[in-house]
Amino acid sequence: MQDEKHITVVDEEGNEQLCEVLFTFDSDEFGKSYVLYYPISSEDDDEEIEIHASSFIPNEDGEDGNLMPIETDEEWDLIEEMLNTFLAEEDEEE
């Protein structure tokens, strides 16, 4: 991972994709941190973005750790709830 606004995600084939961080949050329930992000595309901005989510445990030196897959339906439910809250707040600001 890189700075707070961008991360580099490496897929199973070793391809790197620069992504923009939508937001991060911590869950005491699961003892993890989560990041929601989307690929930065050089294509048309009118295109709908695909939001991805991963968990991570920050390294002890304060740097971001490795991204890990979401493992349970309960985690996905929490992420969906947080995303809906985030999007609702964004709509209120506009």
Transcribe 17-49 into DSSP letters.
EEEEEEEEEEETTTTEEEEEEEE--SS-TTSPP
Encode pLDDT of 60-82 as tens digits. Answer: 665 556 889 999 999 999 999 99
pLDDT, residue 52, reads: 94
Bigger pLDDT: 1 vs 48:
48
Q: Three-state SS for 4?
A: coil
Extract the tokens encoding 48.
């709908």
Is residue 24 within 8 Å of 33, Cβ to Cβ? yes
Q: Is the pLDDT of residue 5 over 70?
A: yes
pTM over 0.85: no
pLDDT > 70 fraction of the chain, expressed in percent and rounded: 82
pLDDT, residue 55, reads: 93
Give the span between the Cα atoms of 68 and 65, in whole angstroms: 9
Encode pLDDT of 32-49 as tens digits. Answer: 999 999 998 765 556 788
Sorted by where each begins, the domain ranges of the chain are: 6-93
